[in-house]
Structure 1
Amino acid sequence: MTATPVWSVDPRTGKQREQVAVEATPGEVDEAVRAAHTARGALADAAVRAAFLRAAAALLDGGAHRVVAAADAETALGPGRLTGELARTTGQLRAFADAVDEGSYLDIRIDRADPSLTPPRPELRRYKVPLGVVAVYSASNFPLAFSVPGGDTASALAAGCPVVVKAHPDHPATSELCASLLREAAVSVGLPADVVRVVHGFDAGLELIRHPLVSAAGFTGSVRGGRALFDAAAARPVPIPFHGELGSLNPVVVTAAAAAERAEEIGTGLAASVTLGVGQFCVKPGLVLLPEGPDGDRVAQALTKALGETGPGVLLDHRMRENFIAGVRERSALPGVAAPVAPGDGGEHTVRAGYLTVPAARFLGGAQDEAYEVLLEECFGPVTVLARYADQDEAAAVLARLPGNLSATLQLSAAETGGAPGPAAELIGQVTALAGRIVVNGWPTGVAVSPAQHHGGPYPAATSHSTSVGGTAIERWLRPVAYQSVPDALLPAELRESNPLGLPRRVTGA
């Protein structure tokens, strides 16, 4: 069988740059997974894992010029954006190293034996253990932070799980470079390089999810691709957890009072959020509920002005560009849909940012308006939809139609944020039911890496209730084990009475 080459492609020209690798055969996927599985025991030492994560961050920072140049050549995201993304990537590697050192992620709980209870309670000691090899599926739009050295990889390694990464075809050279740095970091602290492996190819991704030694998977990408892998993970003889971030509309509600108070600020901020990264963020605002009337018009005018000053941009690849242009064309053709700033084709390799408008009532008309459902689906690229609503009841009815989302944003007035509970509180309650992160008077693009962050949401935003960003992302790759009446000498060090590792733990509720 002839090996299928994997090419690095310049999205600014559509031309092949270099052959980076070949697509992995089933045998090569098997070898990669088995090598990672064999290396898993070496990750048992928490201090070594923390040192590995910090060494990886240092090597990535030290190779910043090469890493950013490689990523820009394959994604056209620009050195400024990618320098920031690299800092985020190395920051989260160090944050997970700190989490490993601190130890509360193990959730250690000890309940003393108490024969006086009914029924009597035996001695119980509980903590969490790593699942095993984790398959990581890289994202197209974050070649660093959600790819080979990204959050799924960092959190899985922190948990003690080796990883096999399915590289994204949009940035194979960047993937190989980052993998080489991670493997070098592993060796530098005494770990086998095979705690991190990379494979290429669509078929390799399917082989990976089906491999019997893969214990869990993390994915960031489209609903279609993620659902196919999710179904494959569930259909295995031994199903495995699949933590997928799929698609999101990220609705925004602008109240009438907010529009009256700061229309220009809202319109300008919306334009910046929609066009950030050429609209290729998973939390890009894709639907904006905007009040009818003069104040809503002022928001739209500010949006028009800001988008009109935005030049054409390059998407991650030509397939995405074609899908964006086709998606905009389909939406624009619907009766009643207008395009005050027409998004779409910006030239041979670029696209133009813009927005569409539609009466909110179009979503509430029953079967005759089913064609408008496409406006409630994510369109990847620099476009958003303004749905003009007549009153809060109509806005609430549209929100009730939406599937799960990563984020929901409310633009409120000063009075609405500082007054007694009322319509604003009701809005908070409604969007809490449909999103994993609620933003007030800000914008959802830009997901801070912090312990309290949650990046997920009800399906189809995600396939589980976990987060792919923040300290608790490590929980995805662990499972709890309880030890009942086990002699102290036979317990794992983490659970022994003397607490030799100095870990935080809860003892009989305290």
Structure 2
Amino acid sequence: MSVQIEPVLIAGRWQPSQETVKTFRAVDPALGEAFGPEFPTSGAADIEAALAAASAAAEALAATEPERIAAFLDAYAARIDANAQALAELAQRETGLSAQGRFLPAEIPRTSGQLRQAATAVRERSWTVPVIDTAAGLRAHLAPLGKPVLVFGPNNFPFAFNGIAGSDFASAIAARNPVIAKAHPSHPGTSKRLAELAHEALQEAGLPTQSVQMLYQFPRELGLKLAADARLGAIGFTGSRSAGLGLKAAADTAGVLFYGELSSINPVFLLPGILATQAEALAKEFFASCTMGAGQFCTNPGVVVAIDGHGSDAFVAAAQRHFAEGAAGVLLSEGGLQHLQEAVAGLIGAGAEVLAGGKRGAEDGFRFQPTLLAVTGRHFLENAHALQAEAFGPVSLLVRVSDLEQAKTVAGAFEGNLTGTLYRAPDGSDDAAWQALAPVMRARVGRLIANKMPTGVAVSPAQNHGGPFPSTTHPGFSAVGMPGTIRRFTALHSYDQVPDALLPPELRDRNVDGIWRQIDGQWSRGDVEAKA
């Protein structure tokens, strides 16, 4: 009896894999059991077909009028919202994350919302940053790459960062580049359903159907070969540091842009004034943030720094109690559980003391206890590299420093991170400590936060979900927040002495759509005035 294998989306249609290396099934992490249909791990033939089809669509998509791009994004968002319940239930079974607690109230609305924000940016078009220098006869703007963008989706966000629906996908399409989506094997059924909705929306909007391709999985060596293919314009990646750096090294050989989110421990500093008065509340907030979604957030508070005295003993005791009493969280996969166990063992080997947890959960499935470890500031500084390794799960390291000066030295030892948080007392008693620590942290984080845990990431034009290496591979760009995210997947096109009628609409004398443009150094929504 032959096994039915799910099709891949290539060249504008769902079709059987041309070369299946092996197959896999989704796994329910709460039970540790495989379920559902077989999905293909694609070989070289599928990858070549997807790349060729996406490349063939690049010119037509780049020439497509913005309204049709926006119509696709809006139609796709509407389809996701209309199918939210079924999508959430499937994703819950594939990931162990809550349909009612997370997907329906938060992540799915965020996903459709950022698709709509991308549509708004496409219509508004000021993100192209048109610049006109009438004296020099030069005009320039940001334009499509003219090549496909390869998007790798992570395991922990089956909607908001999915390769076929997330921020990277929306941004690349908004910039009018075809997308080759690499789904994550932790949620293949969810990705397939999203791809079906995207394909329907493409047809409704009248875009080239080859604009979107999706493969579920391919071997590592083929992924590296694809990343090094000069037919690609860019890669968006969210995942582990080791995998991301391997892909980046391959992409660099061909000059393929690589935007990777790799790892972050998001240090949190508790300043003396607030620690002295709110130790219990801070411990509760810390525990809730660290264990939310079983700690599987890229902005999870992986390190907390507290100055001895000033209520630090009360904070440590309360945090230890919360972690000891907490239930083991369901991790996304067996591989994730194995990596977390290795990471915790590495922290212990580097000298961290286990205050609570530290072991696999006793229940079925892939579970790990809420885990709190601790070191002194002196010991952290002696072994800073090993003690700031990311442990992706409900795990955090408490660093107890002797004074503000040591806290500042610890801050200077951190690698680049997505976020850094400083908790300060509202009465101003911590302001001097803030002023001492903030400049050090500012150079090491993408987003500096005051008085809240880092877990949430608002979809805002002012957001920076990025940071210095190794949190990302480029500190100048964010993976969240339209329209800035769109600019990652563009090229700067300049026109020298080109007649007005032959210019792109954004750069012509008449500003028909009233977009913001810089004309001779001044921002304006008007036309280029004729020179006397």
- Please classify the TM superposition score into its range, dividing by the shorter chain length: over 0.9
Matches within 5 A, 1:185-334: 185-199=201-215, 200-203=217-220, 204-236=222-254, 239-293=255-309, 295-334=311-350
Give the Å deviation of 1:333: 4.5
Q: Which moved more, 1:310-319 or 1:433-442?
A: 310-319
Match of 1:468 in 2: 479
- 2-side partners of 1:88 and 1:20: how far apart? 29
Q: What is aligned with 2:25?
A: 7
Partner Cα distance (1:255, 1:89) in 2:
36
Aligned-partner SS, 2:79? helix
Corresponding position of 1:137: 152
2:102 to 81, 87, 91: 81
CA contact (8 A) 1:245 1:461 kept: yes
State the TM-score, normalized to the length of structure 2: 0.89
Give the alignment partner of residue 458 of structure 2, picking from 448, 451, 463: 448
Is the Cα contact below 8 Å between 1:6 and 1:172 reproduced in 2?
no
Equivalence map 1:144-183=2 (5 Å): 144-147=159-162, 148-183=164-199
Aligned in 2, Cα 1:508/1:19: closer, same or farther, shift over 3 Å? same
Between 26-35 and 224-233, report the one with greater CA deviation: 26-35
Deviation of the 1:302 alpha carbon = 2.2
Letter in structure 2 aligned against 1:441 = N
- Bigger drift between 432-441 and 183-192 goes to 183-192
Write the distance in 1 (CA, Å) between the matches of 2:193 and 2:66: 26
Determine the structure 1 residue equivalent to 2:90: 70
Once the 2 structures are TM-superposed, how far is the Cα of residue 251 of structure 1 from its aligned partner? 0.6
CA distance in 1, matches of 2:418, 2:261: 9
**CA contact 1:20–1:172 (8 Å) conserved in 2:** no
How much does 1:2 deviate? 6.0
Q: CA deviation at 1:280?
A: 0.5
Aligned partner of 1:361 in structure 2 is 378
Partner of 2:49: 31
Q: Are 1:488 and 2:500 counterparts?
A: yes
Residue from 50, 53, 56 that aligns with 2:70: 50
Kept in 2, the 8 Å contact 1:20–1:173? The answer is no
Q: Is the 8 A contact 2:71 2:205 kept in 1?
A: yes
Show CA shifts across 1:202-224 (max 9, x none): 34433431333211000001110
1:333-352 equivalences under 5 Å are 333-335=349-351, 337-347=352-362, 348-349=364-365, 350-352=367-369
Q: Aligned partners of 2:397 and 2:381: how far apart in 1?
A: 16
Q: Is residue 457 of structure 1 aligned with residue 467 of structure 2? A: yes
| Partner of residue 121, structure 2 | 99
Where structure 2 has 5 or more consecutive residues not aligned to the other structure, the ranges are: 1-18, 523-532
Q: How much is the aligned-residue C-alpha RMSD, in angstroms?
A: 1.6
C-alpha distance after superposition, 1:318-346 (max 9, x if no partner): 111122123223323554x3222123211
8 A Cα contact 1:250 1:407, kept in partner: yes
Q: Report what 2:385 is aligned to.
A: 373
| Secondary structure of 1:160 counterpart | coil
For residue 308 of structure 1, give the secondary structure of its aligned residue in structure 2.
helix
Q: Do 1:39 and 1:194's aligned partners in 2 also have CA atoms closer than 8 Å?
A: yes
Partner deviation per Cα, 1:95-150 (whole Å, 9 max, x = no partner): 1111111111110111111xxxxxxxx21111111112100001111011111200
Amino acid at match of 2:372: Y
Alpha-carbon distance between aligned partners in 1 of 2:264 and 2:159, rounded to the nearest angstrom: 21
- Aligned equivalents of 1:424 and 1:468: distance in 2? 28
Indicate conservation of the 8 Å contact 2:150/2:234, yes or no. yes
Query: Residue 390 of structure 1 is aligned with which of 402, 414, 417?
Result: 402
Which stretch of the first structure deviates more once superposed, 450-459 or 317-326?
A: 317-326
> Kindly, what percent of the aligned residue pairs are identical?
37
Q: Quick one: which of 486, 510, 513 aligns to 1:498? A: 510
Most deviating of 216-225 and 392-401? 392-401
Q: Deviations over 1:388-439 (max 9, x none)?
A: 00001111111111110000000111133786xx331221111100000011
C-alpha contact (below 8 Å) 1:184/1:193 kept by paired residues: no
Match of 2:3 in 1: none
Contact between 1:124 and 1:484, CA under 8 Å: does it hold in 2? yes
Unaligned runs of 5+ in 1: 114-121
Partner amino acid, structure 1, of 2:480 = V
Contact 1:8 1:18 in 2 (8 A): yes
Query: Matches of 2:305 and 2:196 in 1, distance apart?
Result: 46
Q: Give the Cα–Cα distance (whole angstroms) in 1 for the partners of residues 346 and 439 of structure 2.
A: 33
Quote the Cα distance in structure 1 between the aligned partners of 2:312 and 2:219: 45
Deviation (angstroms), 1:299: 1.2
Q: Rate the CA distance shift 1:289–1:183 in 2: closer, same or farther, 3 A.
A: same
* 2: CA distance, partners of 1:469 / 1:3: 34
CA change 1:165–1:2 in 2 (3 A) is closer
Distance in 2 (alpha carbons) for counterparts of 1:294 and 1:112: 62
**Structure 2 residue 446 is the aligned partner of structure 1 residue 428:** no
Q: Closer, same or farther in 2 for the Cα pair 1:2/1:97, shift >3 Å?
A: closer
Q: Deviations for 1:8-40, whole angstroms, at most 9, x for unmatched residues?
A: 111122222123421122121111122122223
Instruction: Please say if residues 228 and 252 of structure 2, whose CA atoms lie closer than 8 Å, have aligned partners that are also in contact.
Output: no
Tell me the TM-score normalised to structure 1 length: 0.93
Contact 2:131–2:517 under 8 Å retained in 1: yes
Equivalent position SS for 2:118: helix
